[in-house]
Amino acid sequence: MADVAQPVGILKQVWLIAGLRWRLLHNSLRRKQNRLDLLGLIIVSLLAGTFVIGVCFALFVGASDFVSSGRSSWLSLFFWAIFLWWQLFPIIAAGFGISFDFRTLLRFPVSFGAFYVIGLAYGLADFTGLAAVCWIVSIILGAAAANLALLTPIFLVAVLFVIFNVALERLLGSWLERMLARRRSRELFFAVFILLMVSVQLIGPFLNRYGDSVGSWLPRVLPYFAYFPASLAGSGVGAASEGHYGEFALAVAGIACYAVFFGGLLWLRFAAQYRGEELSQAPAPERTLRNSVGRRSEMDALALLSPQVAAVVRKEIRYLLRNGFAALLLLLPPILVFALITQATLFRFSGAASGTSPELVFPGLMAYIILILMAPAYNSFAYENTGVQTYFTAPLKFRDVLLGKNFVQVSLIVTELTLCIVAFYYRVGLPSAPIFTATLAAIVFTVVGQLSIANWSSLSFPRKLAFGQVHGQRQSGMAVLVAFGAQILLFGISSLVLALGRWTGDRWLPAKAFALLAAAAFGGYIASLDALTSYAEKKKEKLIEALCR
């Protein structure tokens, strides 16, 4: 029996896993659904690739200019931008990540070394990592084009910077997952977020009152940033370009220390996982959930809805509140909006941007919130798992399920929009009545218009997502593409209507047009429910198969 137990080297194991990934992809393409998914992913990747390539050109030109003009240390700015992108974007756009959870490899005799290397490699294999690496390569090429002697130093700096970023991103993601999997830490995390949201509002008045003293603080604080990896990377390249190799060596050593430190922490984190810790299946503590059934006996708050729709609404709300990552994503838009409002307020206080006007900012912010909040609706069965079968065994029409899900979606949007409108009114002021009315009507039009398309997309391109996980998640490529197309279409129509208003000089024209469009979208939505009920019946096998697998 023991004759099979031949030790397998790290490289061989990594190679085997690469082969496994290829085989999984290859076999998955036998299904039409997966082929469509891949097609969607390729199209979305092409669009994202355009953005990445655009930034690549900018960084190439910028790096070349900095080096040729003797300002090599200014490359720190680029490294800071890449650092922020690498650490923050994965949280916002985890849906573009990879769909294979490398922790499933634990059942094989994978050595810890291979497990660690594969874990790091997966940090490089997502959109964020690939884009960042492309940009770093552009900086290297730009700098080398201006001064070929810099190629080796900047390459060394870049490699260490990449290792540091991958390790930190994997570590943060891993801890975030672990934290959001537990109720107490999740609540604490959300409390901090809400405090942050409130405190962002105080930055404006604070700077307004203490702006001068803050201004004098800034030069004293900025030098400390020099000790962070992004600054070290820039200063290291700068030192190398001036022939100060001692400083260069110090900078490289500094980045290496960061890489080793975070790589070590990640080593400990992965070691815990390697020993069998399952991050996202933290036990639901006995004290975590109040007995909601008992509480319901006092009053049925959803009595106005049919029992089936109300049941779906309750289930959706519970799932949302218990899915830490999804809930976090819902908190992000208002936070960013508050931050933007504060920025706008700051500009107004300083008089630097006298053109900042609620007439433009208000519709823009509302469009942004809808863009973010509508995205999950395009794969709304993602977390149902085998439970989706209940929808088909229960004596109901599928329209009830869609209505329940859409009700929760719309309620969330309304709540967040209301919060943002109140904050906007408080900090900036409302736009004129025609713009305000037109924006509200446009919101109804775009939300209701998208709901019908999103329902269709959810039934057509379902993809199972793991509850509460940050890593190893990827939305259906086609669903992302449909969402993208629908949003471009609806926002395109909206822009056209706004342009028409400006062209005719009739300030109330957009409001009237959007009201008409909203009514049409609403009619279309109601009409679509029955059609989608029949469609769900046709698609149920694929839906169940995709979610129960």
Residues that bind other proteins (CB under 8 A): 1, 3, 281, 283-284, 286-293, 296-297, 300, 303, 307-308, 310-312, 314-315, 318-319, 322-323, 383-390, 392-397, 467, 537, 540-541, 544, 548
Nearer to other proteins, 233 or 396 (CB): 396
Nearer to other proteins, 199 or 386 (CB): 386
DSSP state of 225: G
Alpha-carbon span 94 to 50, nearest angstrom? 20
Please state the closest distance from residue 306 (CB atom) to other proteins, in A: 9
Nearer to other proteins, 153 or 468 (CB): 468
Alpha-carbon span 135 to 158, nearest angstrom? 11
Alpha-carbon span 125 to 74, nearest angstrom? 28
**Main-chain phi, psi angles of 180, to 5 degrees:** -75, -15
| Sole residue written with tokens 């430190």 | 261
Please state the closest distance from residue 42 (CB atom) to other proteins, in A: 26
Alpha-carbon span 125 to 190, nearest angstrom? 29
DSSP state of 99: S
Please state the closest distance from residue 329 (CB atom) to other proteins, in A: 17
Please state the closest distance from residue 412 (CB atom) to other proteins, in A: 18
Please state the closest distance from residue 287 (CB atom) to other proteins, in A: 7
Alpha-carbon span 75 to 161, nearest angstrom? 13
Please state the closest distance from residue 326 (CB atom) to other proteins, in A: 11
Alpha-carbon span 96 to 126, nearest angstrom? 7
Q: Which two tokens stand for residue 79?
A: 């490294």
Nearer to other proteins, 75 or 312 (CB): 312
Please state the closest distance from residue 548 (CB atom) to other proteins, in A: 5
Please state the closest distance from residue 99 (CB atom) to other proteins, in A: 20
Please state the closest distance from residue 383 (CB atom) to other proteins, in A: 7
For 323, the 3-state DSSP assignment is coil
Query: Which one-letter amino acid corresponds to residue 452?
Result: S
Distant-in-sequence, close-in-space partners of 27: CB < 8 Å, separation ≥ 6: none
Nearest of 459, 359, 375, 453 to residue 413 by alpha carbon:
375
Nearer to other proteins, 160 or 401 (CB): 401
Nearer to other proteins, 302 or 417 (CB): 302
Alpha-carbon span 167 to 170, nearest angstrom? 5
Nearest of 261, 467, 450, 318 to residue 383 by alpha carbon:
467
Nearer to other proteins, 180 or 344 (CB): 180
Nearer to other proteins, 359 or 537 (CB): 537
Alpha-carbon span 537 to 530, nearest angstrom? 11
Nearer to other proteins, 285 or 523 (CB): 285
Nearest of 394, 525, 523 to residue 453 by alpha carbon:
525
